[in-house]
Amino acid sequence: MTADLAFGPDFRWGVSTSAYQIEGAVTEGGRGLSTWDTFCAEPGRILNRDTGVVACDHYHRYAEDVALMRDLGIDTYRFSFAWPRIQPTGKGPAEVAGLDFYDRLIDALLEAGIQPAPTLYHWDTPQPLEDAGGWLDRDICDRFADYAGILAARFADRVPMWITINEPMVITLMGYSLGAHAPGKELLFDALPVAHHQLLAHGRAVQALRAGGAANIGIASNHAPTWPASDSVEDKEAAQLYDNLINWLFADPILLGTYPSGFDAAMPGPVSDDLAVISTPLDFFGINHYAPVSVGAATGQADTAATDGILLPPGLPFEPRELSGYPKTDFGWPIAPAAFGEILRTFKDRYGDRLPPIYITENGCSFDDPVDDQRRIDYLDGYLRALKQAIDDGVDVRGYFQWSLLDNFEWAAGYSQRFGLVHVDFDTQVRTPKASYHWFRDVIRQSRIHQSRG
């Protein structure tokens, strides 16, 4: 039943994607080399040696994909600009062909009655910037602000919603700390400056976007509850440290203007001045949510599902543990709708009136069920009900963007994980809407019918 999933007259329904995961055409339109192009070319990095060279060929097939979105009935499409398409070296004048591609996409969306909600950065750093230090080098914050200014100047008149950075936690943890994502560095806690520079770049981008005429600006940050593996003091302390590293290190600076206790000293300065920029007020805060994590003190019993199959190195003071008693997605992530509601209530309680309206900028699941994907329907039904309950409990959530429209390139997992409402045959590029696509369309329609009657 979908009729009871009604979220109010102004609630926005959408889907999310990212440039490297769907666009392909990595050598067309003047696009420069990205860190993910380099990472995928290194043997052993990506499952089955998959790459994003073609992906979903969205660069050429965007009109077909916009038509799918129009038929789905969404009113918002969250995509990402590919920084290497706009500035092939990460600095200097914009590449006209790159801007023109996004012009065509944005115009097609608006013609279809869909609001574009672009993300400036979804992990595809221009390789020349990485060669110069990447997110370890403070200079990238200036480069990112320049990039934001270019985008505002071109698109602010037609784009009513902006997202600066996607999941700075993942770049820090998977890209620079554990080496499982591009650029593949294994710095462990020495990766903390990456977090600071992304947060500072975010704040600088908010200011540059506003200076360029853009409005309705936020971030898309990944958050989920951290549950202690037991009631022991050791497990609770380990879980608290992990929680600070994964959640509050990336939200407190933005929403409170402070780091969790003890983290200031690990950050490159001037920390106080930077925090004033990082905490530039937002119009909304985007939460990407997938699964809770059970964490305990290090014992050698780590569960790799929480780190996408990557075994944490020895010597860390915590480790993710198996979260028993929950069904799992094909990625091994526990399905726990109650955790979704919990993290939303935690944000409301932790930040109070410092918290702007929330958008769910990603939520979804991987199931390798080609078309009849009842498991995805069951997942979405449970998570939407948890979201509805959180809203009824007073959490100000303004929209839900499902991950993802299309099966796509899932980073180090290659094409082995399917998150899409639409099945993609990667050999033929044929798109086939799944049962979940039709179910989600009915949810949106029924919600609007209920709203109009209400």
Per-residue pLDDT of 384-434, as tens digits, reads 999 999 999 999 999 999 999 999 999 999 999 999 999 999 999 999 999
CATH of domain 12-453: 3.20.20.80
* Domain edges within the chain: 12-453
Low-confidence ranges of the chain (pLDDT < 50): 1, 454
Which of the residues 23, 95, 319, 362 is marked catalytic?
362
111: annotated binding-site residue? no
207: annotated binding-site residue? no
| Residue pair 302/320 in contact by the 8 Å Cβ criterion | yes
403: annotated binding-site residue? yes
Q: What is the largest CA-CA distance in the chain?
A: 59
Which of the residues 23, 130, 167, 319 is marked catalytic?
167
Cα 298 from Cα 266, distance rounded (Å): 22
Q: Give the pLDDT score at 2.
A: 60
Catalytic status, residue 362:
yes
| Residue pair 369/423 in contact by the 8 Å Cβ criterion | no
Q: Give the pLDDT score at 246.
A: 97
333: annotated binding-site residue? no
Q: Give the pLDDT score at 264.
A: 95
pLDDT tens for residues 33-85? 999 999 999 999 999 999 999 999 999 999 999 999 999 999 999 999 999 99
Measured CA distances, 167 to 98, 101, 263, 340 (Å): 24, 25, 19, 17
Whole-model pTM over 0.75:
yes
Q: Give the pLDDT score at 453.
A: 52
Q: Give the pLDDT score at 304.
A: 79
Angle 436-11-154 (CA atoms, 0-180°, nearest 5)? 95
21: annotated binding-site residue? yes
Catalytic status, residue 130:
no
Tell me which residue of 122, 129, 114 sits closest to 67, measured CA to CA.
Answer: 114
| Residue pair 224/288 in contact by the 8 Å Cβ criterion | no
